[in-house]
Amino acid sequence: MTEPLVVDGLARSFGGVPAVREVSFTVGAGEIHALCGHNGAGKSTVVKMLSGQLTPDRGRILIGGDAVRLKSRQAAQRRGIALVDQELSVVPALTVLDNLLLGDIGAPLVNRRRTAMARGRQVLDELGLARVDPDQPLATLGIGERQLVEIARALSQDARLVILDEPTATLSDVDSERVFAAVRRVASRGCSVLYVSHRLSEVLRLCDTVTVLRDGRHVDTSPAAELTVDELIVRMLGQTPHRLAARAAPDPDPARALTIDRLAVPGRLTDFSLTAQPGRIYALAGQLGSGASDVLRALAGLHPRATGTVALHERAVRFRDPVAAARAGLAFVSNDRKSEGLFLDKAIRWNLVATRLPELASAGVLRPRREQRSAQRLATVSGLAADRLGVPVATLSGGNQQKVFVGRNLLRDNVFALLLDEPTRGVDIGGRTAIHRLLRSAADAGLVVLFASTELEELLELGDVIITMRDGRTVGRYDGGVEGTVLMRDMTHGVSAA
C-alpha cells in the first residue's frame, strides 16, 4: 500500500470524553480530500493528531505505507506533513522570504541567501504570487496574499501532504479563489491535500473526496461529485435545517429608525446613506475593503475620523466615541470575537452581562441575584446551557462563543440597533442557524439590525434588504428577491450607482 496517508481507526478522548472515535479514511496522491463536520465533530482533533500536536489513544496513521508515531509538529514535518493553521501564523514585520524560512526544519543554520532566494521565488511563482518580491515586507501584502504565503511556506518544506485548516475563513471570495487555484496547482504536482472548511459550496467545488465527521464518528466518505450542499448538511447535522420563511415588511416607523446620512471614513468609505427601519434586517454585502465593515465600525465609534450625521430614535448620535455610541443605543459585534469581542478568561456569566452592568446595579453596587437572573435569561434566549455560566468562555466552541457575543446585546431596554460584522464567522452550521434565529427575533422585537457579510448564503438567508458595496461605495440596493449571482457581480465588479 503506497497511499500517501491512511488513517485507520483513530481515536482520542479528553478527560474521558471521546472527541474522536474510530475515524478512518485514505488520501491518495494528488487528491484534494475534504474533512467536514460542524464544530465539535472532531475535525480539529484529527488535524492535531495528523500534525503531531496530539497523540492518538488508539488507531494508526500510515504515511506512504509506514505506520508512524508523530510526537511533535517537527516530527510530522520530517514525515512530509505540513499544516497551514486556522489562524495566520506569519509575521508581518518580516519579509516574505523570511516568513517562508520561518519554522522550516530544512533551513540551514547559515542561511545561504542566493539558494533561499531562488527557492522562494520558485515557490511564490507556483502559487501565482509572481508579482510578490521575496524581499518585500509581509505587512505590505493583503490578507489573502498573506494566507498564500503561509501556504507557500508549507509547500517549500517538500510536503507530501498539506493540511489546510479553514484557509478561507478570513478571506474574501476573490482571495479565496486564489487559494483554490493554489490548492489545485499543488495537487496537480502530486501532493495530497487535506482540506478542512465550513464553507460547503467551496468544498464541493474544490475537493475530489469528502469525509464527513459527526460527534467524533466517521459518517461517510464519498466523491464530491456525488454530493450537493443540502446532502452534505444532512450528513453533518443528521437532520435538515429549516430555511427561514420570507417575511412581509413592517410599517415604517420613522420615530424608531436609524438614519445615516453621508457617513464617510477617509480612505475607506465614501458617502454612505441609509434609513434603516426597526423590525428589518439590513445586510451590507461587500468583500474585505469594500467599506461594509467600516460602516459598522464608524457607527460604533471606532473610526474617530468619520464624518456625516447619524440619528437613532430621532436623536443625534455622537458616533466618533464608542462610549457615546453605546449610550445612544448602538450595540456593536465585531468580526474578531477573540481580540475585540469577548473576555475569554472570564466566565460566561460575566461576558453575558458585561455591557449591562449599570442596569444590574443600584447606585453603582452590583446585585448578584439580579446579575444571575439576567445571565440565566440571556443564556436561555441565546441557546446556551444555563447551568454552566461559571465556565470561562475560552473553553467554548466557536459557535457557542459567538452566541455569548451576540446574546450579550439582546433584551436590553436601551439598545435600539444591533451592528454585526460577520456575525457567523468561524461558526458551525448549527450555531449559525441559531444565531440567525436570534437576529430575526431581535428584529421582531423592534430593533434595527444591520450586518455586514461576505457570504452569499448568509446575505440571502438573513437580509430583508441587501445593500451591495465595493471600494467604499454603495453599488446597489435590493429590497425584494435577488439572485446570488447579481450580488456577486456587484461585490466584485460593481460600479457606484451615484
Partner 1 sequence: MTTSEVSPATSVPQRDGGRRPGPLAIVLGVAALAVLVAAVTTQRFLTLDNARAILASAAFTGITAIGATLVMIAGSVVSLAASQTATVAAMVFLATQQWGLGVAIVVALACGVALTAVQGAVIGFWTANPIVLTIAAGFAIGGLATWFSGGTPVYAKVPAFDVLNAVPLGLPLAVYVLLVITVLAQWILRRTTAGRQLYLVGENRAAARAAGLPVGRVTVLAWAFFGACIAVTGVFLASFTTSANTSLGGNLTLDAIAAVLAGGTAIAGGNGSALRTLGGAVLLSVISDVLLLRGFSTGAQILVKGVLVLAVVVTVHLRSARGRR
Which of 205, 315, 346, 373 lies at the binding interface for partner 1 (CB under 8 A)? 346
The least distance separating partner 1 from the CB of residue 135, rounded to whole angstroms, comes to: 32
Which of 113, 246, 339, 485 lies at the binding interface for partner 1 (CB under 8 A)? 339
Give the angle subtended at the CA of 433 by the CAs of 432 and 436, to the nearest 5°: 85
For partner 1, the closer CB: 77 or 401:
401
For partner 1, the closer CB: 390 or 484:
390
C-alpha cell at 278: 426597526
Q: Does 396 bind partner 1 (CB under 8 A)?
A: yes
DSSP strands (E only) in 173-247: 192-196, 209-214, 217-223
Number of residues that bind partner 1 (CB under 8 A): 56
Strand partners, 406: none
For partner 1, the closer CB: 431 or 463:
431
Instruction: Give Cα separations from 372 to 157, 323, 351, 378 (angstroms).
Output: 52, 25, 12, 10
Give the angle subtended at the CA of 309 by the CAs of 306 and 314, to the nearest 5°: 140
Q: How far apart are CA 203 and CA 161, in angstroms?
A: 18
Residues in Cβ contact with 492 at an 8 Å cutoff, skipping those fewer than 6 apart: 173, 174, 287, 470
For partner 1, the closer CB: 27 or 384:
384
- What are the φ/ψ torsions at residue 263 (nearest 5 degrees)? -75, 130
- Give the N- to C-terminal CA distance of the chain in Å, as an integer: 63
For partner 1, the closer CB: 134 or 399:
399
For partner 1, the closer CB: 90 or 296:
296
Chain position carrying cell 450579550: 408
Q: Does 391 bind partner 1 (CB under 8 A)?
A: yes
Q: Does 385 bind partner 1 (CB under 8 A)?
A: yes
In which element (H, E) is residue 181 found? Answer: helix 173-188
Chain position carrying cell 507557500: 152
Q: Does 361 bind partner 1 (CB under 8 A)?
A: yes
For partner 1, the closer CB: 87 or 483:
87
Q: How does DSSP assign 106-130, residue by residue?
A: TS-SS--HHHHHHHHHHHHHHTT-T
Residue ranges in 28-57 that form contacts with partner 1 under rule CB under 8 A? 39-40
| x-marked contacts with partner 1 along 414-453 as a string, rule CB under 8 A | --------------x-xx--x-------------------
Q: Does 364 bind partner 1 (CB under 8 A)?
A: yes
Among residues 2, 9, 5, which one has the least CA distance to residue 31? 5
Contact 128, 160 (CB under 8 A): no
Which of 203, 317, 342, 435 lies at the binding interface for partner 1 (CB under 8 A)? 342
Span from 246-254, 267-275, 277-285, 346-354 in contact with partner 1 (CB under 8 A)? 346-354
Contact 35, 224 (CB under 8 A): no
In this structure, the chain runs to a length of 498
For partner 1, the closer CB: 171 or 429:
429
For partner 1, the closer CB: 87 or 158:
87
C-alpha cell at 471: 471600494
For partner 1, the closer CB: 53 or 270:
53
Which of 61, 148, 179, 325 lies at the binding interface for partner 1 (CB under 8 A)? 325
Which of 92, 252, 358, 446 lies at the binding interface for partner 1 (CB under 8 A)? 358
Q: Does 341 bind partner 1 (CB under 8 A)?
A: yes
For partner 1, the closer CB: 17 or 110:
17
Which of 24, 222, 355, 492 lies at the binding interface for partner 1 (CB under 8 A)? 355
Q: Secondary structure of 30-65 in the HEC alphabet?
A: CCEEEEECCCCCCHHHHHHHHCCCCCCCEEEEEECC
Residue ranges in 284-323 that form contacts with partner 1 under rule CB under 8 A? 300-302, 322-323
Q: Does 75 bind partner 1 (CB under 8 A)?
A: no
Span from 98-106, 205-213, 333-341, 479-487 in contact with partner 1 (CB under 8 A)? 333-341
Among residues 1, 5, 105, 106, which one has the least CA distance to residue 50? 5
Contact 416, 256 (CB under 8 A): yes
Interface residues toward partner 1, by CB under 8 A:
14-17, 39-40, 215, 300-302, 322-323, 325-327, 330-332, 334, 339-346, 350, 354-355, 357-358, 361, 364-366, 380, 383-386, 388, 390-392, 394-397, 399-400, 408, 428, 430-431, 434
